[in-house]
Amino acid sequence: MSEGERAKTELVERVRVVEGDITLSEVDAIVNAANTTLLGGGGVDGAIHRAAGPGLLEECRALGGCPTGEARLTRGHKLRARFVIHTVGPVWKGGVEGEHELLERCYRASLSIAAMEGLGSIAFPAISTGAYGFPQVDAARIATSTVVAWVRARPLPETIQLVCFGQKSLGLHQEALLRAVRS
């Protein structure tokens, strides 16, 4: 097997696209697509807060919020994951206000926290694609290319899951991952 083939095999082993409920992910950390208050909301944010229990809200209150493109760490409370990394994705405004760069920063900031904490596994939702309206095709491309670039350069986290809600998101992320691995 050539060096290039070995590298691609390692990428496929470390980065996985799955369909499911992120709150059930058995990883060291799940990423919450949060709002700037970090105090819960709809979509994946609300689901994570409900599954984690009131301790998560209490811990988030102490953080004082989070700006778009950044990330914060809390314990997982009642979740299977030991930690929650909260990141605030951009609201889609037509792509003219730096939304692509902000979404990429969400993934990098979350991965950076996971690596600094020595976490071996992390699961991401499709950040900003729900109520924030980010186009799913662009979001899948940004998620996969950012994660693949990270994996090529760093040993941690060892396993990264992109957890998709629904077949459309799953297919878009699988296609985008194939393109990112080939490049």
Closest CA to 48 of 26, 27, 21: 21
Please give the Cα distance from 147 to 144 (Å, whole number).
5
CATH code, 27-182: 3.40.220.10
Enter the tokens of residue 166: 């629904």
What are the residue ranges spanned by the domains of the chain? 27-182
HEC string of 60-127 equals HHHHCCCCCCCEEEEECCCCCCCEEEEEECCCCCCCCCCHHHHHHHHHHHHHHHHHHCCCCEEEECCC
Residue 174: count of CB within 10 angstroms of its CB: 17
pLDDT at 10: 72
Closest CA to 151 of 16, 37, 34: 16
56 three-class SS: helix
Please give the Cα distance from 67 to 95 (Å, whole number).
18
Which of 21, 28, 45, 138 is the catalytic position? 45
pTM: 0.95
Please tell me the total number of residues recorded for the chain in this structure.
183
Please give the Cα distance from 82 to 89 (Å, whole number).
22
pLDDT at 175: 97
Q: For the residues 142-148, what does the mean pLDDT come to?
A: 98
Active site residue 45: yes
Q: For the residues 128-156, what does the mean pLDDT come to?
A: 97
Q: Are strands 71-75 and 83-88 parallel, antiparallel or unpaired?
A: antiparallel
Q: Name the percent of the chain lying above pLDDT 70.
A: 97
pLDDT tens-digit map of 82-108 = 999 999 999 999 999 999 999 999 999
11 pLDDT band, cuts 50/70/90, is confident
